[in-house]
Copies of this chain bind each other. A is one copy, B any other.
Amino acid sequence: MNIHFYLYLCTSKQDIMAKLQKSIDKRNALIKATIELVNNNGFHATAMSKIAKIANVSPATIYLYFENKQDLVNQTYLDVKTKYTDFVFKTYNENISIKDGFELIWKRIAEFNSKESEYSFFLNQCNNTPMIDESSRQEGIKHLQPLLDLWKRGKADGIIKPFSDQILYAYSINPLSFLMMAQKQGHFQLNDHIEEAFVTAWDSIKR
């Protein structure tokens, strides 16, 4: 019997909430452990037993929350991707000039890469390997819809180059992933060059 059906059957509202929180905590601990281990060792060298140990849980318990290892990694990916998108667009609204809107979103992405580099690194790995099921990886950059809309507006106004979203993304957003990796390996400090990086991004896509 799964956790949520079980919760439904409980009587006290407080109990339900406490229980739910506990199971959420456990799931989060598992996802956190997965990110940490996959980042450091890669998917292949990440054993379920190690994930369990770091999450302070028995290996068997993982299977109460996830179907199998693949499911655990897929769900971790989707979780992290959601965190990313939520963070990036939290401060955005459409009533703003093209350039300012782009700057706002770009800087949020940079901030996410910098502050949540564990998450960024994990996403990056997922996007560049066959670690994740194709179905979970979904359709490329669609999750950045507000940014794509902004670009559409920018193209219509003659402010942004009339090129495909793939190109605009490749040149203005994706470089942040590379810079983050370079930072992780100690070749670079993104924070010392944010403005330079932004100018370069804007120069690449502006008309």
How long is the Cα–Cα vector from A118 to B144 in the complex, in angstroms? 28
Copies in the complex: 2
Q: Considering only CB atoms, which chain B residue lies closest to A168 in the complex?
A: B200
How long is the Cα–Cα vector from A171 to B182 in the complex, in angstroms? 13
B-facing residues in A156-192 (Cβ within 8 Å): 161, 163-164, 166-167, 169-171, 174-176, 178-179, 181-182, 185, 187-188
- Interface of A: prevailing SS: helix
> B171 near A201 (CB under 8 angstroms)?
yes
B-facing residues in A92-144 (Cβ within 8 Å): 124-125, 127-131, 139-140
Taking Cβ atoms with an 8 Å cutoff, the residues of A that contact B are 39-45, 124-125, 127-131, 139-140, 161, 163-164, 166-167, 169-171, 174-176, 178-179, 181-182, 185, 187-188, 193, 196-197, 199-201, 203-205
